[in-house]
Structure 1
Amino acid sequence: MRGEFGGGAGAAEGHAGGAAHRQRPRRAGLLRGECGALDPHEAAARLAGAPLFLYGTLLDPLVLERVAGAPGLARRLRLALLPGWERVALRGTPYPTLRRRLGVLTPGAVLRPDPVAFARLTAYEGAEYRLVPVRVARLRQAGGGASTPLWARAWVAPAWRAGAPG
């Protein structure tokens, strides 16, 4: 688990002059270089019930319901497209992540989980992923055309972990 203070072990050790050096705590919830990304603990507290864009293993109804501990949750999935992001492999794993790429539409679904399901989904995604704000287009269930855009959050790993398109 990451500490409250940046800099790793020994970051609050003394510096020149022998006085103890006090560092400022990191801004909770922000991942460097990704404005708006939330760490898992802050996300669980702030975003339960907010729309999530799912694009990987959680699209499988059996996986979603098992992980969330909520039978029937998959019935609340709403088809959506994510413009400007590409689904790629998470380097060194069988799992996906997203990376920005103009002109690409990534299919997925939007879900508004309850707080308990949200906490369980966050734990499943793990510390590697951060919730990043994205603008999705929900699909009309009957006609299939895109509807009004919606702000949601998607779990995205750091860009350096993004591998080949998946």
Structure 2
Amino acid sequence: MQLNFISVSGNRLSGNIPNHLGDITSLTYLDIEANQFSGTVPTQLGKLVNLEILKLSSNRLTGNLPNEISQPTNMTDFRINDNNFNGSIPEFMQNWRQCERLEILGSGLKGPIPSSISLLENLQQLKISDIDGTNQAFPDLRKNTRLRRLRNTEIHLGNE
């Protein structure tokens, strides 16, 4: 199958994200935002090596983000807002050197914000809020000369 675009945003779809989506390796765009998907993000999504845009926001997703989803190195847009994930913001995002938009708002993930975010030199929009974590310095973004929008509305420190 040579399908490259799937968007089922805002359809009240529920259950787990289908594992077999990982078999559509030609996909460059996957948008399942604003549904009622639950469970964990399938590791099979890591097989989507051509994926550029992945939107998982506004679902009921849980668990840790699997390291396998770092495999698509052409990722330009990654959104995981408004979910119930566990664990820390993953370091693997540093593999996404082409990333232009990264959104982690109310995702359930904890800090610290990885300093490796500064390696995303093509980043134009970075939105992070509502993360718990330890006291930390904000990553040095001086090399991110394309950054046009930064939103960091609320970070809860564990020692407060």
TM-score (norm 2): 0.23
When you count helix as a share of all residues, which structure comes out higher? 1
TM-score (norm 1): 0.23
User: In terms of Rg, which structure is larger?
Assistant: 1
When you count strand as a share of all residues, which structure comes out higher? 1
**Of the two structures, which has the highest relative contact order with CA contacts closer than 8 Å and spacing of 6 or more?**
1
